[in-house]
Amino acid sequence: MSKGKDWQEIKLLIVPIIWLAATIFVVVNFILPVMKQYWMLLLGDFVACIFISIFLMKVWWYKEPFKGIDINVREPHVGFAKMPYKVDPAEVGTNPFGAAFAWHFSSFLVPIEAAIHLFMGNDMQRASQDGNNEACIGMMTQEMNHGIAQLFYSREVEKCLGYPKGYRSLWKTILIRYLSRKWAAALLVWIEIAFMPFQLAVTFLPIKLEHLFGEPAWLWNWHFMEESEHSWEYVHETSPKIPFLYKAVTFFVVAFGILCFWVQAILQGLWYGSATFHKHPSRLITGLFMHVTFFAQCLLFAITFTLLESILGMRPDEAYQWARDGLSCEFAEYSHLFKITHTQRPGGHLIKKTKTMPPRSSILGVQVERQRLYNKVREMMKTRGMTEKEIKRTSFGHVAEASKFNPLLC
């Protein structure tokens, strides 16, 4: 990267660093003292989350493997580039603080989804013996779809609200350029596990995803729908390969990071959601109440699930299907906007441990499809008005270049 490009990246990081510094100041001087004072209540809440997770959500040490769920890849009939991502500053959501959490989370998900392509096994492992690579191509497409949709959403948030562009650069730099593969894999497993409590909350409680993460509603319903289908496979495949130390350290670091995300959402909700509060003053009270009660409780359950599944080796079983069925009902309102392009049946892991090398034609077929997918994403970016310079700076540009120079990578 040239010095000019380096300086541009550094300038983008200034605003996120200021927000991070302000957030840490609030956490250290206000949040942690309160947590220290009421640590017994917090501990009791955490223990209650463990018991609820075990006895009601059926998280346990199961001897038999999870039977699996069909994994479907859904794409809009009009294409992702033509879907609506615009965020109205006066209508960011019924809970502007949850929406603020989603703005930052989306900028985090963009490089996360791109990085997953670096953990899906190399093309030689993924290629099928019989040359039918539909399943692995489907999963590659699904993760790329998630990332590109979150990218378009993040860009609209930046455009409509003035949200800092530097968050995408910050997380791309950390997750893709500098974080080692083992640490990144541990982080990805943490995130995949953490989706479950929100999925179950929407399944069993009279609440919708837009109440938690704001608008556009279709984006979060579609993304969480597909996460409910595939997160189990990614976690079961990747977690056993990660050393315990990496998972343990990641658990505590990300748990603290989640606290900072949550506090920052309050600060940014007040700042970037001011137009919504001006139009709907009551949301300042109702949104804040929801953020410090229900939303915070969901995050505590997310921490609990990652402790049980990632650290202690437990896992949900029936809850996977509960979440999938619940999200299916929520997604039904938007299902007419999508078509299913690939379906992966449960039971066969994508990464195969075999001494027999697949046919060369099958391996080349995966590589060709991978490049076709990257070219398709590139065209979607152009359709949304992104310049070559902007495309190259994205996380997807980095992954595509890595694949280009080393076709057997990822």
Which of 283-297, 374-388, 395-409 is the most confident on average? Answer: 283-297
Residue with tokens 């392009």: 341
Q: Taking 50 as the threshold, does the pLDDT of residue 406 lie above it?
A: no
pLDDT, tens digit (0-9, with 9 covering 90-100), for 292-334 = 999 999 999 999 999 999 999 999 999 999 999 999 999 999 9
pLDDT, tens digit (0-9, with 9 covering 90-100), for 277-290 = 999 999 999 999 99
**Average pLDDT over every residue of 130-135:** 62
Residue pair 27/263 in contact (Cβ under 8 Å)? The answer is: yes
Q: Taking 80 as the threshold, does the pLDDT of residue 119 lie above it?
A: no
In angstroms, the Cα distances linking 233 to 108, 348, 355 are 22, 10, 23
Task: Of 147-161, 177-191, 303-317, give the lowest mean pLDDT range.
Answer: 177-191
**Average pLDDT over every residue of 71-85:** 94
Alpha carbon distance 339, 375 (integer Å):
21
The secondary structure of residue 307, as a DSSP letter, is I
Residue pair 356/396 in contact (Cβ under 8 Å)? The answer is: no
**Average pLDDT over every residue of 216-225:** 96
Average pLDDT over all residues of the chain: 87
Q: Taking 50 as the threshold, does the pLDDT of residue 165 lie above it?
A: yes
**Average pLDDT over every residue of 192-209:** 94
Alpha carbon distance 398, 391 (integer Å):
9
- When pLDDT is cut at 50, 70 and 90, the band that residue 2 belongs to is low
| Nearest residue to 348 (alpha-carbon basis) of 102, 151, 187, 130 | 130
Single-letter code of the amino acid located at 222: W
Q: What is the pLDDT of residue 177?
A: 83
**Average pLDDT over every residue of 256-285:** 96
pLDDT, tens digit (0-9, with 9 covering 90-100), for 11-70 = 889 999 999 999 999 999 999 999 999 999 999 999 999 999 999 999 999 998 888 888
Q: What is the pLDDT of residue 288?
A: 96
Quote the tokens at residue 19: 């927000």
Q: What are phi and psi of 331, to 5 degrees?
A: -75, -20
pLDDT, tens digit (0-9, with 9 covering 90-100), for 332-353 = 999 999 999 888 876 554 444 4
- When pLDDT is cut at 50, 70 and 90, the band that residue 372 belongs to is confident
The secondary structure of residue 239, as a DSSP letter, is G
DSSP codes, 174-195: IIIIIS-HHHHHHHHHHHHHHH
Q: Taking 90 as the threshold, does the pLDDT of residue 130 lie above it?
A: no
- When pLDDT is cut at 50, 70 and 90, the band that residue 193 belongs to is very high
- When pLDDT is cut at 50, 70 and 90, the band that residue 125 belongs to is low
Q: What is the pLDDT of residue 108?
A: 94
Of 102 and 113, more confident = 102
pLDDT, tens digit (0-9, with 9 covering 90-100), for 87-99 = 999 999 999 999 9
**Average pLDDT over every residue of 140-152:** 90
Burial class (CB in 10 A: 0-12, 13-18, 19+), 122: middle
In angstroms, the Cα distances linking 229 to 146, 151, 201, 224 are 13, 22, 16, 9
Residue with tokens 């300038």: 11
